[in-house]
Each structure stands twice: as C-alpha cells, then as structure tokens.
C-alpha cells in the first residue's frame, strides 16, 4: 500500500477511511466544545465547565481512535497534529462571550442540536462499519454522546434561559 497522506487522496481501505472520518469528527467536536467552554466561562462558569468536560471526552475519544489505528497499523491514515480544516480554522478562533440568558439559551440550543448530530453520526458509522473493533468503540462513544445530550438538555431546562419566541 502506498503512503497515505490525510486530506490528499481517497483511501483504498474502507477501515482507514472510517477511522479518519471518526477522528476528524471527534477533533471538530473537541474544538467546538472548547470554544463553547471559553464562551460560557465568564458569565456562566458551571456551563463552561460542562462544555470543557465534554471537550475532554472528545479528546479522549480521539486518543482512543489513534490507539486503535496504531494497533491495526493504520496510524498513517490519521493526521499527526490537531485537525485543521482551512474552512474551520478562522471560525474556531472566534469566541463570543455569552453575556445574557437569551444568548445562553440560544447557544445551548445550538450545542444540543450539534450533540444530537454527533450521536447520529456515530450511530451511522457503527451501523455501516467495516471494522468490528471500530464498531465496538463507536458503540461506547454513542452511549457517552447520549449522556452528553441528556446533560445539555438538563442544563437548558434547569437554567430556564430566556429564548425569544419565533414569530
């Protein structure tokens, strides 16, 4: 098999593609949660800590995927540094501070939407997986992502953030 460079060519091995997709997804999620943690920290520190802990979970999942890739001798398919997509690089550096309940409610709503998307993505990856070891790992990820969705839902309800009604 020729040398594989992430982002430059399609992989001929479906397991390598799945590992790369799962790793890129978790890396994006990690950066998103870290940005949310920074945004919430000044005015809503408890929500900032929740977002930071969800980001740490994403980082742990990325590390687990890297360990699996190494175990399967597929580590050449993963990027060596933190994932950087040029279209997301500028957006991930922009952090808006949450200053009121309306902003907090809207941001939590978006975070919850993305958390559900992330869970569904992992469910699809596991359902159509080509690699039993990855499928087993994704099944564990799905359970943690369900818990993350539940935590975000509970925070949105407990905080009773004022979300403006839509006309």
- Domain residue extents for the chain: 14-159
Residue 119 corresponds to which tokens in the numbers above?
């869970």
What 3-state class would DSSP assign to 50?
helix
> Where does the pLDDT of residue 1 fall: very low under 50, low under 70, confident under 90, or very high at 90 and above?
very low
Radius of gyration of the chain (CA): 17
pLDDT at 90: 46
pLDDT above 60 (res 87): no
pLDDT-derived band at 159, boundaries 50, 70, 90:
confident
Q: Any alpha helices (H) in 41-85, and if so which ranges?
A: 45-71
Q: Is 14-159 assigned to CATH 1.20.1260?
A: yes
Backbone dihedral region of 92: left (phi > 0), alpha (psi from -120 to 50 degrees) or beta? alpha
Average pLDDT of the residues in 148-166: 81
The whole-angstrom separation of Cα 35 and Cα 86 is: 17
More confident residue, 21 or 14: 21
């Amino acid at each position: 098999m020729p040398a594989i460079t992430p982002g430059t060519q399609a992989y001929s091995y479906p397991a390598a593609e799945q590992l790369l997709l799962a790793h890129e997804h978790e890396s994006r999620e990690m950066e998103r949660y870290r940005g949310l943690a920074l945004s919430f920290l000044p005015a809503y520190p408890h929500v900032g800590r929740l977002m930071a802990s969800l980001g740490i979970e994403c980082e742990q999942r990325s590390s687990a995927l890297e360990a699996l890739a190494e175990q399967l001798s597929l580590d050449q398919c993963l990027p060596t540094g933190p994932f950087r997509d040029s279209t997301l690089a500028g957006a991930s550096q922009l952090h808006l501070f949450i200053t009121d309940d309306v902003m907090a409610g809207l941001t939590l709503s978006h975070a919850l939407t993305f958390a559900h998307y992330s869970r569904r993505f992992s469910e699809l990856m596991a359902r159509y997986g080509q690699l039993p070891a990855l499928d087993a790992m994704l099944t564990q990820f799905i359970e943690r992502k369900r818990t993350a969705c539940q935590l975000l839902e509970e925070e949105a309800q407990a905080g009773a953030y004022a979300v403006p009604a839509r006309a």
